[in-house]
């Protein structure tokens, strides 16, 4: 029996962190819903019409990780970070102030990776200004 493909991650949001230190570090706080639905694979293809939402439910293979994808909207290649499968939030730091970014999240099990979520973000990263320079 093949391990099921994780469903597409849903309810991904990008928000400005509450912590001033995280904002100063160029941070964006991503969160998403924990997956419990998965789709079965038959001969290496999605079932039904090929969409994750409409296929039959398969045996759930435990999630091993989530891949967080991010890039500037002007770039073509995403940078990625792997986080544990039980994690549903992540603080990305080191982003450039006043630059727009795209964010996505995908789920992985021991054998396969699900489709990335819809793109969220696109608004320029907002950070609080640093302390004024000393005279």
Confidence (pLDDT) at 44: 42
What pLDDT does 78 receive? 96
pLDDT tens figures, 23-67: 777 788 899 887 654 444 443 444 333 334 433 343 345 778 899
Asked if residue 70 has pLDDT above 60, the reply is yes
Res 17: pLDDT: 82
Q: Is 9 exposed, middle or buried (0-12, 13-18, 19+ CB in 10 A)?
A: buried
pLDDT value at residue 36: 53
* CA 42 – CA 39 distance, rounded (Å): 10
Cα(27)–Cα(16) distance, rounded to whole angstroms?
Answer: 7
């Amino acid at each position: 029996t093949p391990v099921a493909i994780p469903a597409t991650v849903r309810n991904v949001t990008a928000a400005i962190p509450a912590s001033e230190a995280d904002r100063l570090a160029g941070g964006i706080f991503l969160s998403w819903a924990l997956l419990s639905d998965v789709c079965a694979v038959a001969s290496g293809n999605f079932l039904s019409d090929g969409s994750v939402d409409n296929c039959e439910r398969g045996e759930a293979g435990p999630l091993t990780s989530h891949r967080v994808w991010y890039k500037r909207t002007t770039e073509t290649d995403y940078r990625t970070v792997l986080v544990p499968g039980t994690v549903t939030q992540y603080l990305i730091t080191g982003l450039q102030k006043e630059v727009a970014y795209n964010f996505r999240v995908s789920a992985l099990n021991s054998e396969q990776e699900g489709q990335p979520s819809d793109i969220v973000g696109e608004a320029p990263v907002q950070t609080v200004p640093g302390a004024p320079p000393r005279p």
